[in-house]
Amino acid sequence: MNGWKRFTRGIICSLILIVLLAGCASQADNSKSGQTHRIKVAHYFAANHPQNIALREKFKDMVEKNSKGTLKVDIYENSKLGAEKEFYDGVRNGTIEMGIPGMIMQADIPKMAIPELPFLFKDFKHAKTVLQGPIGKELTSEMESKHGVRVLAWSANGFRMISGNHPITKMSDFKGFRLRMPNIPNYIALGKSWGANVTPLPISEVFTALEQKVVDGQENPIATLRASGWYEVQTHVLESRHMFSPNVYIINKKFWDKLTPEQQKVIEEAAQAAADYEWKLLEQSYQQDKKFLQENGLKFQSPDEQLKKEMETAANPIYEEFYRMNPSTKELIQKIKAAAAN
């Protein structure tokens, strides 16, 4: 009997322990689900750029509303938390929860350089189909393991064009032209292939460099040209459409793992909705931006067939070098080119 009593007491004690542990776990879950988080979102676009408008009107509104107040969003536009490298590193190390960089991570993750190879995308539809489909997922597949950030959505900066203080109508016009470009190898190689003197600068320093004539021109989508006020110190735009610049919504992985599944779903859905809205705004705004810039004195020109062909031919060695350094990417690039026909 004594043995039976000891056995019974052991069972009862075990059951009590299980109940207590379950209660503690439940309290921990409830504490986690009830926790309020502030999300800092950093990017380099001006306040009235479509990227920031989409963040403000879609992402912030949806996250705060659909999380029932457990998530708060603070948007830091116009490089307020540092230039692209600084805020990207901030998201990686967790001092900033979210960011919208360009392809600055390509130095460590070569696949992320692919979308910004010259003359790769035909139009917005082509770019969006590729980046928001399976190829886009393949491009970002190493972001978590290598950089500790989770990619939530692809958004767009747009097709890049060259603005300057004199017209560019032939290849020889690039000679001696001091062209600001981001400090990214593909960009620098492209500018040099045309014969320009490339000056790498952060986007936050471009206006001053143009105003003080440290550089003669820059290349960006015209939405950025307008939103950043660079039209005040430029006279001409070449509609070269030489490169498509995407952006990615990223979130620190450790911060992400602290969130409940419900909060994660809210953020994912809001990020995709905001990115879709931004694509729409950017594509629709092109003619409006062009008209505004023309009304403010900028002269637009399209490259003739000869100039366009010469610019593309000059860029071919960039692909050859990229394939040499990253031979496994050739098939992926061919898939992107083939998607233009669909």
Give the contacts of 143 (CB within 8 A, at least 6 positions apart). 105, 109, 112, 149, 150, 151, 250
Q: Tell me the fold of 36-341.
A: D-Maltodextrin-Binding Protein; domain 2 (3.40.190)
342 residues of the chain, pLDDT tens digit each: 444 445 445 544 444 444 344 444 433 343 344 589 999 999 999 999 999 999 999 999 999 999 999 999 999 999 999 999 999 999 999 999 999 999 999 989 999 999 999 999 999 999 999 999 999 999 999 999 999 999 999 999 999 999 999 999 999 999 999 999 998 888 999 999 999 999 999 988 999 999 999 999 999 999 999 999 999 999 999 999 999 999 999 999 999 999 999 999 999 999 999 999 999 999 999 999 999 999 999 999 999 999 999 999 999 999 999 999 999 999 999 999 999 876
The structural domains of the chain, with segments of one domain joined by +, span 36-341
Rg (CA), the chain: 25
Whole-model pTM: value is 0.84
